[in-house]
């Protein structure tokens, strides 16, 4: 080729070109950010609104429904879901991958403003939004605790000093405060004393609000000076409220302390969190969609010393979890794997060539190709992550192939007596088209990946571009630097490789192997039908084995963190729930694999309902413990014996898909317009799914409490006694809903003044009869006079998906069960139950992504084959030769699947990528044979003689390139280091495919060539 001739003539130009590749590659490598995976976050916005004391049904109908109706009009929404529980509604909006998160946030804010007039007037907090996915795990957890200060003081430092400042750091979406207990003055009224003093709860609330005011008073503007007016209208603490006069009875003042307990307390007494066994506050830092985890964590860590300096000495700060540690370890191990692959490939080259200078020439292609791809990554805003580094590691075994083929052809001519310069020119001319064909056809394998959409496309796009760039650079290096160095470095005496006993032994062994191959090839060409029979058998076995092997989405990884979710009976009291949670904490604390953990109960942190709790557990360093899955298995046996408490453990996935936060990983949703029908069919599905063998931790977000108390007001009696429904609900809210009746305005924050009845008057239905409301005639009317009370089931949460009522059943799988098997079992359950058309079922999250990826992977494989066929057809101007080149693929696929089956790996996304890569690797062998055979046919040889000679001449480069590719993939297959769980199936599939296809294609390709050569002549349009 002209490019090779130019490089041989101008060595300085060639050297400088490679030097620039190296320089810019190093500079770009240092500038690339580091992350775990390519940017695949779905743009997600979380909307929260609260109405203190409102039931889940009220929150769903009065708050969630109008908000969802307005938000659903926004373009680009992929999924909208909501969860309404006592007093709070959370709505999660997930947009298409291509939607700009900032533009989406503006649309959401506009929709919230439009929906504001449809919401209740007395909202505790107006709808607010955050650009974060509530289902995403925090990237950084900070624990604050104190042995001497009250938890409300620790909360104040956490919320006003740390959380607000950390939220402003680059890459931070929000900082959630788990176990937050802001200071509040809590007024616990005694309903009997109120009745004795002829006072109603509504009057008490009014008295408190009227005596704690903070209004502008104006100023005095005299002739010479101006004076601002101030008053002592604010009451700052419980002591001041105790002296508050709420009424006069019998001419004497009635102080608040006479009818109520007034306490310096917390705003919410039904949440709690602990750092190990100490009460504390947890700050959970969530990154923005698209933000780099390591950069975000680094920014947080740099700010922590400044925050530590403003904390009192009595408040301790501990880092509970740092997500970047496992990412850095994983990236470090991939980098080590990359270097190990380079070393193994160079060793393979030396074993074949047994000459230092001859080894260095093709070995230079490895660093140059890898560094040449890095500037492309930089220009496309990629990062150094597991997939891009995996692409570079796999490229090590590919990029050296072109240089090996080029140099081997040149060395062969030198062994025949040519000088280095002449051999370089002739060898480059002969092999240039072969290298171009190998390079373009290998890149063609990845072209379909570039046009894939959705999650799979976003995940594999960076991988495809990175490895394609490395392959393209390797082709350039092989056509320029390799022939130039061969022409000036190699000497005729260096090509004989007769030095030393090891070299002689290796040479004799390879000569014997070549002779054996020649004899066996002659025998095979005499009986081609048996080879064709083997070919068709391998195709059938490949299809059959693929259908039988278990399918999965992504392997579980070990990030050094596991999560634990607890659920008690829906009517469990907060005190009982806290005791149960502490029992679990004692078990976790005693486990030697656990370094630290945070624990929370109540509606705080990741908990969605008041009857649950959660733990985030950090494990000790990897080398000192079992794997995360093994730790989960051990802990599950220990914690599942606590009566009345269900415990669910999870190994957080590396990719979180969907906006639903559930106790278990995989989600199955049931929907219906009729809530009663939804409940009925949800119960049927839940029972059936729990009976599926291999599924565990089956739970649901549709919880019904058996101890609900319904207040049925007789409206006729209500009117006859001169009362309104609003008075009744206000009285109930004041008594039992921790109603905020006033606000204390401090210098740096605001605190609530909360009214309720005594705790011992909030325990049974009879306590409602103690509540009295004043009617129009000034008479206190007992609540049981106008209302009756009865127990009935009550829903703890009301969930919507796509604005329709929904119930989500989540589940985990036992060890050894693949997601594909679980989904087949779910399909069988649907067929057996036969729900009506009004009941809709669907998969969510990772399960839905896996289901859609199955058809996508088959389409991808077919497209890759078609594109490679088209590229080869255009290069060889033949309809037939591409079929010959691709004939070795069934054996490669069979080898990959057999190896996965042997080592008990399911067919995951990474394993499928390995099978896809085999298309590019295996066809290289056939290209080298066929290209040489076509040249010999042009010289007058028969097709059978040409392919026989091609097989023998190309036997050494085929063995070198195949073993080099095998050596490049071997460190990945061995599964070394952090994150190896993701990479290992890919390496195993490549190694298995290469081992089998290497043997088969050496005999299959010449036989296919033998059969298809006549068809090439018939279908050749050239005259």
Which pLDDT tens digit goes with each residue over 907-926? 888 888 888 888 877 887 78
What is residue 729's predicted lDDT score, i.e. its pLDDT? 83
Q: State pTM to two decimals.
A: 0.76
- 918 in Cβ contact with 990 (< 8 Å): yes
At 250, the pLDDT band (50, 70, 90 cuts) reads confident
**DSSP element (H, E) containing 135:** none
**Separation CA 303–CA 998 (nearest Å):** 56
Least confident of 520-524, 658-662, 959-963: 658-662
At 977, the pLDDT band (50, 70, 90 cuts) reads low
Question: What single DSSP character describes residue 183?
Answer: E
What is residue 796's predicted lDDT score, i.e. its pLDDT? 75
pLDDT surpassing 60 at residue 657: yes
The mean pLDDT value of the chain amounts to: 84
Q: What's the angle, vertex CA 577, arms to CA 573 and CA 582, rounded to 5? A: 155
- Residue 598: both structure tokens together: 């945070």
What is residue 67's predicted lDDT score, i.e. its pLDDT? 92
Q: List CB contacts of 795: < 8 A, sequence separation 6 or more.
A: 56, 57, 702, 703, 704, 705
What is residue 497's predicted lDDT score, i.e. its pLDDT? 43
Mean pLDDT of 395-406: 79
At 897, the pLDDT band (50, 70, 90 cuts) reads very high
What is residue 608's predicted lDDT score, i.e. its pLDDT? 55
pLDDT above 90 covers a percentage of the chain that reads 7
pLDDT per residue as tens digits for the range 663-679:
788 889 999 988 888 88
Q: At the topology level of CATH, where does 561-705+798-840 sit?
A: Alpha-Beta Plaits (3.30.70)
pLDDT surpassing 70 at residue 327: yes
Provide the 3-class DSSP secondary structure of residue 858.
helix
Q: Of 442, 402, 440, give the one whose Cα is nearest residue 923.
A: 442
Q: Within 10 A of 1011 (CB to CB), how many other CB atoms are there? A: 17
- 712 in Cβ contact with 721 (< 8 Å): no
Mean pLDDT of 549-564: 83
pLDDT surpassing 80 at residue 288: no
Give bridge partners of residue 34 from the DSSP assignment. Answer: 384
What is residue 495's predicted lDDT score, i.e. its pLDDT? 44
Angle 420-450/386-415 helices, nearest 10 degrees? Answer: 150
Torsions phi, psi of 68, nearest 5? -65, -40
What is residue 587's predicted lDDT score, i.e. its pLDDT? 92
Q: Of 580, 538, 665, give the one whose Cα is nearest residue 999.
A: 538
At 930, the pLDDT band (50, 70, 90 cuts) reads confident
Highest mean pLDDT among 107-116, 500-509, 845-854: 107-116
Q: CA 803, 804, 810, 816 torsion: positive or negative?
A: negative
At 431, the pLDDT band (50, 70, 90 cuts) reads confident
pLDDT surpassing 70 at residue 178: yes
Highest mean pLDDT among 168-172, 689-693, 802-806: 689-693
**Separation CA 793–CA 703 (nearest Å):** 10
Mean pLDDT of 749-771: 86
User: Pairing relation of β-strands 140-146 and 695-700?
Assistant: unpaired
Q: List CB contacts of 221: < 8 A, sequence separation 6 or more.
A: none
Domain range summary for the chain, segments of one domain joined by +: 1-31+354-490, 43-132, 503-548+877-1022, 561-705+798-840
CATH number of 503-548+877-1022: 1.20.1640.10
Is the model more confident about 767 or about 453?
767
What is residue 828's predicted lDDT score, i.e. its pLDDT? 92
- Residue 762: both structure tokens together: 């909030």
pLDDT per residue as tens digits for the range 291-318:
778 888 888 988 888 888 888 888 888 8
Provide the 3-class DSSP secondary structure of residue 245.
strand
Largest CA distance in the chain: 128
Is the model more confident about 91 or about 98?
91
DSSP letters for 559-591 = -SEEEEEEEE-TT--HHHHHHHHHHHHHHHHH-
Is the model more confident about 74 or about 928?
74
Please indicate whether the domains covering 43-132 and 561-705+798-840 agree at the CATH topology level: yes
Q: Of 667, 16, 33, give the one whose Cα is nearest residue 293.
A: 33
pLDDT per residue as tens digits for the range 4-39:
888 888 889 988 988 998 999 999 988 888 777 777
Mean pLDDT of 343-366: 80
At 496, the pLDDT band (50, 70, 90 cuts) reads very low
Mean pLDDT of 554-579: 83
**Separation CA 169–CA 163 (nearest Å):** 10
pLDDT per residue as tens digits for the range 41-65:
678 888 989 887 787 888 888 999 9
CATH class of the region 1-31+354-490: mainly alpha
First and final CA of the chain: distance in angstroms? 26
What is residue 820's predicted lDDT score, i.e. its pLDDT? 87
pLDDT per residue as tens digits for the range 689-715:
999 998 988 888 876 555 577 788 888
Torsions phi, psi of 18, nearest 5? -70, -35
pLDDT per residue as tens digits for the range 515-529:
888 888 888 888 888
Q: Within 10 A of 791 (CB to CB), how many other CB atoms are there? A: 11
Mean pLDDT of 728-748: 84
Q: What's the angle, vertex CA 459, arms to CA 458 and CA 460, rounded to 5? A: 95
Please state which of the four CATH numbers 3.40.605.10, 3.30.70.1430, 3.90.550.10, 1.20.200.10 is assigned to the domain occupying 43-132.
3.30.70.1430
pLDDT surpassing 70 at residue 768: yes
At 826, the pLDDT band (50, 70, 90 cuts) reads very high
pLDDT per residue as tens digits for the range 626-648:
888 889 988 988 888 888 888 88
pLDDT surpassing 70 at residue 1021: no
**Separation CA 646–CA 797 (nearest Å):** 18
């Amino acid at each position: 080729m002209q490019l090779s001739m130019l490089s041989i003539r101008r060595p300085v130009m060639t050297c400088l070109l490679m030097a620039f590749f190296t320089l810019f590659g190093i500079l770009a490598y240092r500038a690339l950010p580091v992350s775990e995976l390519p940017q695949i976050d779905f743009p997600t916005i979380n909307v929260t609104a609260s109405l203190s004391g409102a039931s889940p049904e009220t929150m769903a109908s009065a708050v969630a429904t109008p908000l969802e109706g307005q938000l659903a009009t926004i373009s680009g929404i992929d999924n909208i879901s909501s969860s309404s529980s006592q007093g709070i509604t959370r709505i999660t909006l997930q947009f298409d991958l291509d939607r700009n998160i900032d533009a989406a946030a503006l649309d959401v804010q506009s929709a919230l403003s439009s929906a504001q007039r449809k919401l209740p007037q007395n909202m505790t907090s107006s709808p607010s939004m955050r650009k974060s996915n509530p289902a995403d795990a925090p990237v950084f957890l900070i624990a604050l605790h104190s042995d001497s200060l009250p938890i409300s003081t620790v909360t104040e430092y956490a919320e006003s000093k740390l959380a607000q400042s950390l939220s402003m750091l680059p890459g931070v979406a929000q900082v959630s405060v788990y176990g937050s207990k802001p200071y509040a003055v809590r007024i616990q009224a005694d309903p009997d004393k109120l009745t004795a003093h002829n006072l109603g709860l509504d009057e008490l609330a009014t008295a408190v609000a009227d005596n704690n005011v903070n209004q502008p008073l104006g100023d005095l503007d005299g002739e010479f000076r101006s004076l601002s007016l101030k008053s002592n209208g604010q009451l700052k603490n419980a002591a001041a409220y105790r002296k508050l006069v709420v009424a006069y009875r019998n001419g004497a003042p009635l102080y608040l302390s006479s009818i109520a307990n007034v306490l310096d307390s917390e705003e919410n007494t039904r949440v709690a969190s602990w750092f190990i066994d100490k009460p504390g506050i947890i700050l959970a830092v969530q990154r923005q969609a698209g933000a780099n985890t390591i950069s975000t964590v680094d920014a947080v860590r740099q700010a922590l010393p400044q925050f530590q300096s403003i904390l009192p000495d009595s408040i301790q700060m501990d880092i509970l979890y740092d997500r970047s540690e496992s990412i850095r370890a994983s990236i470090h191990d991939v980098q080590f794997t990359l270097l190990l692959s380079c070393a193994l490939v160079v060793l393979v080259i030396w074993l074949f060539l047994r000459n230092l200078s001859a080894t260095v020439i093709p070995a230079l292609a490895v660093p140059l190709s890898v560094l040449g791809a890095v500037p492309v990554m930089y220009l496309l805003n990629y990062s150094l992550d597991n997939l891009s580094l995996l692409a570079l590691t796999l490229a090590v075994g590919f990029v050296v192939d072109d240089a090996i083929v080029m140099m081997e052809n040149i060395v062969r001519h030198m062994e025949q007596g040519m000088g280095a310069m002449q051999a370089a020119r002739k060898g480059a001319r002969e092999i240039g088209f072969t290298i171009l064909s190998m390079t373009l056809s290998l890149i063609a394998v990845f072209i379909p990946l570039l046009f894939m959409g959705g999650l799979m496309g976003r995940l594999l796009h960076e991988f495809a571009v990175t490895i394609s760039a490395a392959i393209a650079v390797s082709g350039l290096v092989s056509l320029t630097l390799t022939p130039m160095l061969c022409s000036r470095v190699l000497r005729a005496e260096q090509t004989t490789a007769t030095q030393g006993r090891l070299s002689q032994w290796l040479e004799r062994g390879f000569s014997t192997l070549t002779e054996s191959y020649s004899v066996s090839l002659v025998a095979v060409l005499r009986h081609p039908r048996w080879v064709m029979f083997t070919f068709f058998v391998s195709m059938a076995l490949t299809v059959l084995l693929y259908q039988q092997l278990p399918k999965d989405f992504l392997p579980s990884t070990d990030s050094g963190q596991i999560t634990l979710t607890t659920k008690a009976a829906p009517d469990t009291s907060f005190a009982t729930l806290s005791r149960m949670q502490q029992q679990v904490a004692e078990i976790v604390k005693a486990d030697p694999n656990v370094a630290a953990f945070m624990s929370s109960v109540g509606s705080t942190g990741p908990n969605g309902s008041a009857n649950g709790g959660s733990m985030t557990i950090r494990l000790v360093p990897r080398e000192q413990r079992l794997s995360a899955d093994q730790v989960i298995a051990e802990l599950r046996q220990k914690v599942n014996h606590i009566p009345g408490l269900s415990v669910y453990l999870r190994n957080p996935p590396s990719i979180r898909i969907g906006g639903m936060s559930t106790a278990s990983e995989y989600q199955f949703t049931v929907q219906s317009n009729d809530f009663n029908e939804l409940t009925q069919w949800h119960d049927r599905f839940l029972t059936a799914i729990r009976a599926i063998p291999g599924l565990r931790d089956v739970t649901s977000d549709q919880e019904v409490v058996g101890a609900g108390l319904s207040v049925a007001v007789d409206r006729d009696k209500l009117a006859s006694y001169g009362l309104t429904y609003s008075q009744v609900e206000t009285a109930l809210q004041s008594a039992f809903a921790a109603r905020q009746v006033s606000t204390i305005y401090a210098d740096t924050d605001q605190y609530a003044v909360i009214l309720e009845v005594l705790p011992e008057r909030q325990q049974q239905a009879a306590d409602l009869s103690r509540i009295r409301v004043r009617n129009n005639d000034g008479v206190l009317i007992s609540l049981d006079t106008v209302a009756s009370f009865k127990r009935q089931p009550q829903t703890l949460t009301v969930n919507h998906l796509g604005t329709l009522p929904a119930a989500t059943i989540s589940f985990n799988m036992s060890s050894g069960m693949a997601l594909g098997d679980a989904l087949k079992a779910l399909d069988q359950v649907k067929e057996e139950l036969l729900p009506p058309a009004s009941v809709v079922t669907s998969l969510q999250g990772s399960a839905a992504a896996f289901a859609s990826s199955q058809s996508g992977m088959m389409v991808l494989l077919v497209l890759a084959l078609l594109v490679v066929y088209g590229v080869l057809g255009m290069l060889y101007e033949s309809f037939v030769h591409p079929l010959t080149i691709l004939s070795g693929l069934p054996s490669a696929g069979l080898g990959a699947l057999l190896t996965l089956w042997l080592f008990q790996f399911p067919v995951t996304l990474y394993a499928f990528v390995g099978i896809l890569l085999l298309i590019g690797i295996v066809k290289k062998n056939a290209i080298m044979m066929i290209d040489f055979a076509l040249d010999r046919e042009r010289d007058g040889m028969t097709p059978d003689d040409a392919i026989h000679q091609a097989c023998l001449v190309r036997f050494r480069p085929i063995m070198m390139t195949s073993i080099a590719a095998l050596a490049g993939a071997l460190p990945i297959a061995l599964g070394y280091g952090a994150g190896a769980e993701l990479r290992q199936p890919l390496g195993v599939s490549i190694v298995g495919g290469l081992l089998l296809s290497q043997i088969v294609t050496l005999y299959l390709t010449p036989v296919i060539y033998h059969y298809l050569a006549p068809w090439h002549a018939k279908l050749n349009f050239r005259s």
